[in-house]
Amino acid sequence: MKVVRTVACSLCLGVLFFSLPAAAQSGLAPDALKGQVDRQMPELSATYKQLHQHPELSHHEQKTSAFLAGELRKAGYEVTEQVGKYPDGTKAWGVVGVLKNGNGPKVLIRTDMDALPVTEATGLDYASHERAQNPQKQDVGVMHACGHDIHMTVLLGVARELVANKDKWRGTVVLVGQPSEETIDGAKAMVADNFYERFPKPDYILDQHDTNDHAAGHIAIAPGPVLASATSLNVVFHGIGAHGSKPSAGKDPIVMAAEFVVLAQAIVSRQISAQDPAVLTIGTFHAGTKNNIIPDDAVLGISMRAYSEEVRQKLLEGVKRTANGVATAYGVSADRMPEVTVEETTVPTINDVALTERVRKSTERALGSGNVDKGIPVMGSEDVGYFSLDGQIPFVFFWLGAAEPEKLAAAKRSGVALPSNHSALFAPVYDPTIRTGVTAMTAAAMDLLQ
C-alpha cells in the first residue's frame, strides 16, 4: 500500500505540474516581446508628446494623474485615485492600479508624475509652453525636465504588456503613479495614507529613471547604494544689527555665516571617513537690505547627501557644532545661537543584491547583454525608497539610457556633457528610450511573476 500511494502521489504531482501552461513556466520570448512593444509605439509616442506638452508642478498633478488613471482603467486595472496625504492634511494626487492574476508573487512598479519650474529651451515641436505659479507665487515656466513623462509612458506600455500576456505569469501587479517626487514628499504622503493596508504589500519593487549618462537602447544597473539620501537645512545666524560705518556696535551675522561657509567644507573633508561618500552644498545665502546696514540675521540653505543614516547624522551634527562654534567665537549669547532647521529629507536608494542580479539577468535576456551597462552610485536623490519600508521589501532601481548614442560618444570625447536632468535643454531620444524601458521593465516584472 505504501508503494502504491507513493507512486500515485508522484503521478498526481506530475499531472499538476505539467498541466500549467508552458508559457507560464518560461515567460515571454524576447522576440515576441519586442514585436509587441513595436506595435505599441505609435500610441506610446503620442502619449509621450501629450504628457511632455502639458506638465504640472509638484502637488498640482491633477490632470496628469487623471490621465494616467483613465489609461490604466482602460487597460483593465482596478484604479484608486487621490492616494496620499501630506503632513498638513491635504490630499495628494497619487494613482494606484492593481491587476490580480491568480496566486503568485506581488510586484510593485512605480512612476513619478510631477514636472519642474523650468522654462523649456529645447525648441522641439512638442515643447512645453505651460506656465504656473510656484510656492513663492512667482510666474514660472513648467517642463518635464527630469523625464517623468518618459517614466509615465513606459509604465503605461508595461501595464498593457502585462494585460496582453496574462497567460504567461501569475500573481498581482501594483502600478503606482506617485506625485511630488521633485519635492521629495510624494512617496511619504502615499505611504502615510495607509498604503499597505489599502493595497497589496509587494514581494518586490521595481523602478527606473531616464538619464543622458547612458545611450538610448541601454539600461544600467548595480547592487547596493544607487542614490544618496538628501537632507535640506536652513541655518539662521542671529547677530545684532548696526550701521555699516560702526560694525563694532553690532555682531555681524554676514561675517559669521561667511566664515561658516568656509569651515563647513571641513565637515566632509576632515570629519567624515574617506570611505564614506558625502556631500555638503550651501546653495543659498540671504541677508541684509542695504549696503550700509549690518542686518540682524543671515540665512543659509544647505543640501546634504549620504548613503547611510550614520553619515547623515554626522553631517547634521557637524553643521550644528560648527555653526555654534562660529557664533560663540563672535560673542553671541547662548540664547541667540544659530537655528538649524531640517526642511526636507529623503532616504537613500539601495538596491537589494540578490534581486539586482535577477533583474540584470532577465533584462539581459530581453535586451542583449551588451545593452545592460554597469551602473555606478551617484549623489542625486529619489524618494521611491520609502515604499520599501527601510529595506524590508526587496527593491531594484535601474537607469534608463535616454541619450542619442552618437551625441553621447561625441560628448565623452570632447569632455562637454550633454544637457542633464533638470536642464532646460533636456530632451530624451524618446522612441528608443521608451521601447527599451517598456521591454526591460516588462521582462523584469514577468520574470518575478512566475
Domain locations in the chain? 25-227+348-448, 229-346
d(CA 129, CA 52): 10
| Strand order from edge to edge, sheet including 78-85 | 78-85, 91-101, 171-178, 106-112, 204-215, 395-403, 219-221, 372-374
Cα(84)–Cα(61) distance, rounded to whole angstroms?
12
| Residues 147, 118: Cα–Cα separation, whole Å | 13
pLDDT of 73: 98
C-alpha cell at 261: 561657509
Rounded distance, CA 258 to CA 261, Å?
Answer: 5
Q: Please report, in tens digits, the pLDDT of each residue of the chain (450 residues total).
A: 333 333 333 333 333 333 333 334 446 899 999 999 999 999 999 999 999 999 999 999 999 999 999 999 999 999 999 999 999 999 999 999 999 999 999 999 999 999 999 999 999 999 999 999 999 899 999 999 999 999 999 999 999 999 999 999 999 999 999 999 999 999 999 999 999 999 999 999 999 999 999 999 999 999 999 999 999 999 999 999 999 999 999 999 999 999 999 999 999 999 999 999 999 999 999 999 999 999 999 999 999 999 999 999 999 999 999 999 999 999 999 999 999 999 999 999 999 999 999 999 999 999 999 999 999 999 999 999 999 999 999 999 999 999 999 999 999 999 999 999 999 999 999 999 999 999 999 999 999 999
pLDDT of residue 136: 87
Provide the CB-side half-sphere exposure for 255 (13 A, CA).
Answer: 15
In this prediction the pTM is 0.90
Question: Which candidate in 61, 81, 120, 182 is catalytic?
Answer: 182
* Span 229-346 CATH architecture: 2-Layer Sandwich (3.30)
- Determine which one of 56, 61, 71, 112 is catalytic: 112
For 149, 265, 314, 356, 442, the CA distances from 272, given in Å and listed in that order, are 38, 11, 7, 29, 41
**How many contiguous H segments (helices) and E segments (strands) does the chain have?**
12, 18
pLDDT attached to residue 28: 86
State the cell numbers at 320. Answer: 550644528
Q: For residue 181, indicate whether it is catalytic.
A: no
Q: Are 17 and 9 in contact (CB under 8 A)?
A: no
Q: Is 78 a catalytic residue?
A: no
Instruction: Tell me the CATH architecture of domain 25-227+348-448.
Output: 3-Layer(aba) Sandwich (3.40)
Q: Kindly give, in sequence order, each residue whose CB lies less than 8 Å from that of residue 347, ignoring residues fewer than 6 positions away.
A: 229, 383, 385, 386, 390
Closest CA to 150 of 433, 445, 423: 433
Cα 150 versus chain centre, distance: 13
- Which residues, 6+ apart, have CB-to-CB distance to 64 below 8 Å? 51, 54, 55, 56, 93, 113, 114, 152
Q: What is the pLDDT of residue 117?
A: 98
Backbone φ and ψ for 372, nearest 5 degrees, come out as -115, 105
